[in-house]
A and B are shown apart, each in its own frame.
Chain A
Amino acid sequence: MSERDVDKPAFEMRQVSKVYPGTIAVDKVDFDVFPGEVHALIGENGAGKTTLMSIISGSFDDYTGDIFINGNKVSLRSPAQAKKNGIEMIYQDLSLALPISVAENVLVGRLPRKGIFIDKEKMVSETFDNLSKVGLEHIDPMIPIEDISQHEAQLVEIAKAMGNNPSILVMDEPTSALSQEEVERLFDIIDSLRKMGLAIVYISHHLPEIFKIADRVTVLRDGHRIDTKKINDVTQEELVQMMVGKSVTEFYRHDIFSGEKVRLKVEKLTRYGFFHDVSFHACEGEILGIGGLSGAGRSELARVLVALDKRDKGRIVLDGKEIKSRNMAQALDEGFAYLSENRKTEGLATRLSIRDNILSALVPRLSKNGVYDKEKGDPVLMKLIEELSIYPPDPNREVSNLSGGNQQKVLMAKWIAVEPKVLILDEPTRGVDIGAKVIIHNAIEALAKEGRTIILISSDLPELVSLSHRVMIMRQGHFIKEMQKAECTEESVLLAANGEGV
């Protein structure tokens, strides 16, 4: 500790602010990170983490305040300036160019040259070196990004940032698309980078991760810095309290599900190469959780259930009737609904109003003889806006102008509005703040109480464990375990999802 007092911080910001039209996203924040340190940055959605990170990356030319690197005042007003100062970013939403080769993505901006021409041999070998650091030796550097999988792409993103030999590395939720093994490997890499003297800023929602990897932690709330603590001096509960601003008691629920009227029966459902021979049943009023790592085939299963993809084999029986829908419209008529995980591209039409979005799946039902009755949807629309406290409660507001949490509530409202028999929720609270999360959770429980069957796909373990009446574990395309409420804990689910203790 004493040596750190002598050391200068590798990166320091003093009284930095950034104003968006209408809001102050970051308000006079101090933040520093020392060489050889992992400094975690946490906060709810909208707390200003992303804005702060964008400032570090040089994405804004209009921030105020001072930034120092190794004690020297610098100006970070373009990504190029940030790069020049040894800052590298790892983004959550991938910043790779899909039609371009892996090699060019990894080495973007610094392709090796021989004279004025690019040195292809060196390009391939350098890429290979970088890829092998993150365990991607098997990937051909010359194939385009669009031909590799999502989680491989996430690792390429990391390889790309590290390949620039940064002195300051900023990571935004780097584990969101990774499996457990890959997370472990990433943490090993971070650890070795720390030993090499890199200064690392680690942004995450995931508190257990932070306790595993960080040295210090800074909490942001509403654009202000609340506090900075050494990780050993603070508990998870204290951090949550700082993030939320008030003490929250974890909302574990213990009601045992007692219904037994089977609503949905799935037998040997298969889509080749994605999931094989999946069988399960779900009752009226039951919340059936599906746990597993990303890439286990959970979303693919959901897509087949609502006929967005074709099944290769198997039966789906709803209320005793075999379902053979050929597209989502038919599945919707049969009583299925699917809240997909990617709200911006698959869920919402962000350029349209709250009204258009909430009623979008209801259009056929609100129409008679091909004529759409605009007024007919109003009662349900206003009711849902109120029930889910969508803010602002103005149905004509364009969705792109809402906060992430409110966008997610709009998406939830859209699927509640269709009154499905079976509602499949795929990461219903990903990336939303705690307030919105509680509202969405309450809505899910209310739907189950009404007798609807909920299939809950979630990587948020507390959410999965506390909401579900029963949890099925999916791993590498198979259902490997069924767990009743009593045996469900975050630990047991995580172990099972990783293939242990089965």
Chain B
Amino acid sequence: MMHNKIINKKLLSLGDRYRIYVLLVLVFAVMTLFAPHFFNAWNLTSIMKTVAMNGTVAIGFTIILIVGQLDLSIGTIITFAAVIGLGLKEAVGYGVSVPLAIIAGGLIGLINGLLVAKVKINSFIVTLGMLTALQGAIYTITGGNTIAVTDDQAFAISDWLQHQIVPTLTPRVVIAIVLVISFSVFLRRTRTGRNFFMVGGNSKTAWLAGVDSDKYTIVAFVISGVMAAIGGILFAMESAAATLNLGTNSLMYVLSATIIGGTSMAGGKGGVFRSFIAVLTLTTLYNGIVLLGLGNEVQIFISGVILASVIFYEAFVEYRHDKIVGQRTELLKELEIVR
């Protein structure tokens, strides 16, 4: 009986770890069975296109959560980068404007990181301030208008970005997957990568081990800024337009996916690949909902419900953990004898 319990515990923790894959398979199967026009190349490609942007952004956001911080500004960085990249195209060309956009994202992340790590302001506040400031900047720069590029080169690049290298995989998707895999391997398999977890798990331990927590926190914010910028600019280049609500939904999208993927808000736990799979799952779900003839409103509602269920589930796990932590197994055995 005791033995069973241990096995159950192991199974549960495995379940926690792989729940997102199970969820993906489930959503995919249900949609394939019930949603009309779901399983075809065109639809799957369109799913992957959405995944490409939010999946890239989720990389940075996951690392932010791993070091125990929060970045509310990712949505505005996406738009900001798109605006810079496309807005400067006419003047300097993509060759300069795209790197500039990505650098801008990195700089914004750097400012966030410095304020959090060095000035020691809560990241919720810092990135909230950044969100407000960037929102203003975006509208000031654009005057509230969508930026569109219309020259031949822009269209050529847009076309290239839409072509399928292999079925369903466009260049943007490939870039996203390469980034996800690289960061996943980096975080899981290198010492430097593991240090991010240590910083979020217990910054004192990290410091005593000679790991500079401040540096890792700053780098996490820079990565977050750069990833958001890459996600934003590539999306805008593909559509040859930077709309001002480009990143509006991304915060909720990416935050939900990261939490559902099993990354903890408390820091020290999580994974980039799982976040990516979670983005894929959510996107598939939303896509299916639309194909089922249900509106955007149902999609919003369901995403809230899913996030809420995951939060409740995690609260339950925590509760269960608190209840049994410190129990003496020999005393429990005694109980069984009496029974």
Kindly name the residue among A78, A273, A276, A477 whose own CB sees the greatest number of chain B CB atoms within 10 A. Answer: A273
A-B contact count (CB 8 A): 96
Chain B interface mostly: helix
CB-defined interface of B296-339 with A at 8 Å, one 1/0 digit per residue? 00000000000000000000000001001111111110110000
Asked if A207 is at the interface (CB within 8 A of a chain B CB), the reply is no
Interface pair B210/A476, CB less than 8 Å apart: no
Known: A78-B210, A476-B328. A99 touches B267 (CB 8 A): yes
Interface pair B208/A273, CB less than 8 Å apart: no
In the bound assembly, the distance between CA atoms of A14 and B201 in angstroms comes to: 37
Interface pair A99/B264, CB less than 8 Å apart: yes
A97 partner, pick from B189, B201, B321, B325, beta carbons under 8 A: B201
Interface pair A476/B331, CB less than 8 Å apart: yes
CB contacts (< 8 Å) of A83 on chain B: these are 209-210
Interface pair B201/A111, CB less than 8 Å apart: no
Asked if B194 is at the interface (CB within 8 A of a chain A CB), the reply is yes
Interface pair B198/A100, CB less than 8 Å apart: yes
In the bound assembly, the distance between CA atoms of A342 and B329 in angstroms comes to: 25
Instruction: Report the minimum CB–CB distance from A88 to chain B (whole Å).
Output: 10
Asked if B3 is at the interface (CB within 8 A of a chain A CB), the reply is no
Interface pair A117/B205, CB less than 8 Å apart: no
Report, as a range, how many residues of chain A touch the other chain: 35 or more
In the bound assembly, the distance between CA atoms of A146 and B266 in angstroms comes to: 13
Asked if B120 is at the interface (CB within 8 A of a chain A CB), the reply is no
CB contacts (< 8 Å) of B206 on chain A: these are 97, 108
Instruction: Report the minimum CB–CB distance from B77 to chain A (whole Å).
Output: 28
In the bound assembly, the distance between CA atoms of A150 and B326 in angstroms comes to: 8
Asked if A116 is at the interface (CB within 8 A of a chain B CB), the reply is yes
In the bound assembly, the distance between CA atoms of A141 and B99 in angstroms comes to: 44
Asked if B211 is at the interface (CB within 8 A of a chain A CB), the reply is yes
CB-defined interface of B188-228 with A at 8 Å, one 1/0 digit per residue? 01110010011011101111111100000000000000000
Interface pair B332/A117, CB less than 8 Å apart: no
Known: A99-B264, A99-B266. A108 touches B209 (CB 8 A): yes
Report, as a range, how many residues of chain B touch the other chain: 35 or more
Known: A57-B208, A99-B268, A111-B191. A273 touches B201 (CB 8 A): no
Interface pair A95/B202, CB less than 8 Å apart: yes
In the bound assembly, the distance between CA atoms of A104 and B188 in angstroms comes to: 12
Asked if B269 is at the interface (CB within 8 A of a chain A CB), the reply is yes
CB contacts (< 8 Å) of B329 on chain A: these are 273
Interface pair A274/B268, CB less than 8 Å apart: no
Interface pair B327/A109, CB less than 8 Å apart: no
In the bound assembly, the distance between CA atoms of A113 and B194 in angstroms comes to: 12
In the bound assembly, the distance between CA atoms of A149 and B264 in angstroms comes to: 22
In the bound assembly, the distance between CA atoms of A109 and B210 in angstroms comes to: 7
CB contacts (< 8 Å) of B321 on chain A: these are 146-147
Kindly name the residue among B266, B268, B328 whose own CB sees the greatest number of chain A CB atoms within 10 A. Answer: B328
Known: A95-B208, A96-B205. A113 touches B191 (CB 8 A): yes
Instruction: Report the minimum CB–CB distance from A59 to chain B (whole Å).
Output: 8
Kindly name the residue among B204, B205, B329 whose own CB sees the greatest number of chain A CB atoms within 10 A. Answer: B205
Instruction: Report the minimum CB–CB distance from A270 to chain B (whole Å).
Output: 9
Known: A111-B191, A118-B190. A477 touches B328 (CB 8 A): yes
Interface pair B326/A274, CB less than 8 Å apart: yes
Chain B residue at minimum C-beta to C-beta distance from A89: B208
Beyond contacts A96-B205, A99-B201, A272-B331: 8 other A-B pairs, Cβ-Cβ < 8 A, are A83-B209, A98-B268, A99-B267, A100-B198, A109-B210, A111-B194, A118-B194, A274-B327
Can you list 14 residue pairs at the A/B interface with Cβ under 8 Å? A78-B210, A79-B207, A97-B197, A97-B201, A98-B268, A99-B264, A100-B202, A108-B211, A109-B211, A113-B191, A118-B189, A118-B190, A273-B324, A273-B335
Question: Chain A residues in contact with chain B, CB under 8 A?
Answer: 57, 78-80, 83, 89, 95-100, 104-105, 108-109, 111, 113, 116-118, 146-147, 149-150, 272-276, 295, 297, 300, 476-477
